[in-house]
Amino acid sequence: MNAKSKLVIVGLVIGAAMASGSVLAQTDVPNHPRVNEVNNRLENQQDRIQNGLKNGTMTQAQANHDEAHDANIARRESVDEAKHNGHLTKQEQRNLNRSENHNSKRIYKQKH
């Protein structure tokens, strides 16, 4: 991989991390408990990443990587919601939670 390719990849990761802040700034949706659970978990993980940056237990590169994963989960959630009039099926919720669990473990390992 040449330097130009690496620069493009880094730019994409940083762009995804910046976009994730607005994507993840969602509020509770009345009568949508599955959507709310996923959104609340994503918000919690964003808080954990920001705390890791503040206290120095996580580097900016690690935070960008984790935020890109969270942005991916948020995009998948939006696609799933669009299929079902703003709702998530139980299976879609399970799949998103599995991804969130994986990212949560990665955040924990990076901070410890």
pLDDT over 50 at 8, yes or no: no
At residue 52, what is the residue type? G
Burial 63-79 (b: 16+ CB within 10 A, else e): bbbbbbbbbebbeebee
What is the percentage of the chain residues whose pLDDT exceeds 70? 74
Report the pLDDT value the prediction gives residue 21, as an integer from 0 to 100. 47
Structural domain harbouring 9: 3-111
3 burial level (CB within 10 Å; 0-12, 13-18, 19+) = exposed
Task: Count structural domains, the chain.
Answer: 1
pLDDT over 60 at 15, yes or no: no
State pLDDT tens for residues 53-63: 999 999 999 99
